[in-house]
A and B are shown apart, each in its own frame.
Chain A
Amino acid sequence: MSEHKITLTVNGREMSGYAEARLTLVDFLRDVLGQTGTHIGCEHGVCGACSIVLDGKPVRSCLMYAVMADGHEMTTVEGLEGPEGELSPLQDAFWENHAMQCGYCTPGMLIATHTLLQDNPDPNEDEIREAIGGNLCRCTGYQQIVEAVQMTAKKLREAS
């Protein structure tokens, strides 16, 4: 049973801690580093609540052991806010469109749709649904989430 010192760059800040090899990345983020924005749902890869951006790409943080991420860079939902702690345009659109009810899936949904908009500023509905295809929501029926992403895309296009 090996124990490891793990150093990650989380939302631009270097953070480190110790963990057994079997600790998943999401548990490490939450329990060791205190970054509790990322949620844990199923713990075996099916719900998407634990989504984070690892080295620029959305992945599930319950399907990595923390030690595997040593030396890597990631963005969690805490990293989406603006410099003054204000909501990002996407977060704001989730709020305006009632794209959440209980909020359990929200960090994962935000990460999935944030990375979608980075790659594709003008996604159609199919592309949005494909991007959240691995994220389960038991409350919203997904429609408002799709609308929030569409509103954000429109606002970002108008602003640029």
Chain B
Amino acid sequence: MLNFKLDQSLQLGGKKAIITGASQGIGAAMAKAFARAGVNLVLIARTEAKLQELVQELQLIYDRELQQNGEKEPDDYTSKLSFFAVDLTDEGAVKKIFSDIATLGGVDILINNAGKMTPKPLAFIKSEDIQSQFEINTFAVIRCCQYASRLMIRNGGGSIINISSMLGEYGQQGQSIYSASKAAVSGLTRSLAQELASYQIRVNSIAPGIINTPLISTLSNAEKEQILARIALQRLGKPEEVANTCLFLASDWSSYITGQVIDVDGGVHF
């Protein structure tokens, strides 16, 4: 088993994590943080080129950590790093991924991070806007939890981390559907925590505030200003700050925490 000095105390080395929405933003930051902790990764998003680029970056991270520990670089990274370029709203594709992951030895950590935001005032919301946001932000999360939990039961337990949103907790003008789809994730988290506890599976959510990623490019400057005015730390969050919380929830450092929605929002006040 790889023995990484950095982040070693988390004792995540050799564990296997699935990160959805890993091609950019918060998901990519998580992938790097987990690689530094020696975690074997399965990355999922639609854009193959971005995943490939990230995998190369992650190999360098592994190499660097191994060198620092005086360990030899592996000839082959396939057991440490794999990716699937798929649309998670495709139910058949999700089942296929999890069948493949089962043959690779299962999973210990699932991070449901893929998501999308399409802000619109209520009067302008079409059925397809509702469908498309719920499909990825909520329905795909439910399906991944279904498949991953079965693999975790085989392995004797695990940790599921769902990325919801501050907007799911507090709401925001023009964000009714996104907020509803994320509030559903909080409800899912609290219920699954109860249901899966007897299998030693912990389920928690992280509700990020406003984090500097491509996702927030859809927010107007006025919306950003409005949110910034409510942040105690008076700045946007960094993807790495969400990734660090995720490491904590994935590790045994949070072994007595389940069913929680943890705000990573710089102290938003309403």
Tell me if chain B binds chain A.
no
